[in-house]
Amino acid sequence: MTKTIIAVILMAIVTYIPRAFPVVFLRKKLESRFLRSFLYYVPYAVLGAMIFPKVIYSTGNIYTALAGMGVAFILAYFEQGLMKVAIGAILTVYIIGLIF
């Protein structure tokens, strides 16, 4: 087999393992409160880890990005809706972008 085919097969296996693991090994309800809590928060942690670096460099100006992120954090902390958080962050980036 060529190296390309071996690489594709290995990538398919690595991709399939996380999908098959819960079905095969977690058939009954988890008794451990800690493990349930951990598995509940993992998607949010992964999403945050993937998005956070992109937010800082998304506008091309670190000051506008940090200002928009700060406004988004503040609005989200005070439990505003998703639309208010997004529009507030966008307007902040736009206004700070006009200044700098």
Per residue of the chain (100 residues), what is the pLDDT tens digit? 799 999 999 999 999 888 887 777 777 777 888 888 887 888 888 888 888 889 888 888 999 999 999 999 999 999 999 999 999 999 999 999 999 8
Task: Return the number of other C-beta atoms located less than 10 Å from residue 65's C-beta.
Answer: 20
Q: CA torsion, points 49, 53, 56, 58, in degrees to nearest 10?
A: -110
Q: Which structural domain, as residue segments, surrounds residue 55?
A: 3-99
Number of structural domains (the chain) is 1
Task: Return the number of other C-beta atoms located less than 10 Å from residue 93's C-beta.
Answer: 22
Nearest CA to 30 out of 18, 39, 21, 42 is that of: 39
Kindly report the length of the chain. 100
Q: What is the pTM of this model?
A: 0.59
